[in-house]
Amino acid sequence: MLSLEQTQAFDRDGFVLVPDAFSAQEIEILLSNVTKEGRVTKHQGNMPDAAGRSSKLALWADVSNDVFGAVSTSPRVVNNVRMLMREDVYHWHSKVMLKEARVGGAWEWHQDYGYWYGDGCLYPRMISCMIALDAATKENGCLKVIPGSHLLGRFDHGRVGNQAGADQARVAAVIERLGVKYCEAPAGSALFFHGNTFHASEANLSERHRRAYICCYNALSNIPYGGKGHGLPVPITMSPDDSILSFAESAVA
């Protein structure tokens, strides 16, 4: 569980990084499921950046009965999200981001709520948890955030390349005042960030992949109007803490 200091850091900065949230063995299992034929390859698409570099993304809204679902319903993730939100949440969607060595593209500056707003969510009471499947560094295009930007409110978003991005001139003014933090992190780390926190990443021109699994959640008090949105707005049934290992063992048996 997050400490009081970590919770206060999230309230102040709009993000908090938790090292060693998942073990090396668990990350190895997740990576093996990223690369083999299955859920990720089935849902994978390409969203090129403004320079045309490949930014691959696999996204789904259901809570899958596999290792990915075990992470999305993990107490290590869900309990911390509930603590940061101060209320119960439901699974919005999960996704695997594939920023491959030498070819992985950038993600433009944006707020997740910048486009989830269009799904009918009235409040930005939404949180994402990004789990590093590879070590994330500046060289391979780690996530970068603007500390405190979640307090600015929602900015208008439009198209930047094939992605949704915020008004670039306005973002530049925000960066001048608040600065930028590169979230370098070892594999197994979990980065929790607010739905209004500005984030982006640069292209991966290094020799090492930068892959991540992101679980996103919405407050149960914030169910979209009009029948829109992602995921089923029902309380999460949390998985046992050893579920990732159990799925791997059952696959071998």
Residues 6+ apart with CB under 8 A from 88: 82, 219, 220, 235
Predicted TM-score (pTM) of this structure: 0.95
Is residue 166 assigned to a domain?
yes
Is residue 172 assigned to a domain?
yes
How many domains does the structure of the chain reveal? 1
Is residue 58 assigned to a domain?
yes
131, 96 contact by CB (below 8 A): no
Residue 222 has pLDDT above 90, yes or no: yes
Residue 157: the pLDDT is 85
Please state, as a whole number, how many other Cβ atoms lie within 10 Å of the Cβ of residue 85: 20
Is residue 208 assigned to a domain?
yes
Residue 253 has pLDDT above 60, yes or no: no
Residue 48 has pLDDT above 80, yes or no: no
Helix axis angle for 243-252 and 24-35, nearest 10°, is: 50
Residue 109 has pLDDT above 80, yes or no: yes
With cut-offs at 50, 70 and 90, classify the pLDDT of residue 231: very high
Share of the chain above pLDDT 70, in %: 97
Is residue 206 assigned to a domain?
yes
Supply the mean pLDDT for the chain.
94
Closest CA to 240 of 124, 70, 2: 70
CA-to-CA distance for 244 and 178, rounded, in angstroms? 38
Q: How far apart are the first and last CA of the chain?
A: 33
Residue 195 has pLDDT above 60, yes or no: yes
218, 120 contact by CB (below 8 A): no
CA-to-CA distance for 63 and 55, rounded, in angstroms? 24
The pair of structure tokens assigned to 181 is 């933090």
Is residue 94 assigned to a domain?
yes
Is residue 7 assigned to a domain?
no
With cut-offs at 50, 70 and 90, classify the pLDDT of residue 227: confident
Question: Tens digits of per-residue pLDDT, 157-185?
Answer: 877 666 678 888 999 999 999 999 999 99
Residue 252 has pLDDT above 70, yes or no: no
CATH number, position 19? 2.60.120.620
Residue 57: the pLDDT is 93
Question: Tens digits of per-residue pLDDT, 71-89?
Answer: 999 999 999 999 999 999 9
Is residue 1 assigned to a domain?
no
DSSP 3-state assignment of 231? coil
Q: Give the containing element (helix H, strand E) for 132.
A: strand 126-132
State the residue range of the domain holding 110.
12-252
With cut-offs at 50, 70 and 90, classify the pLDDT of residue 122: very high
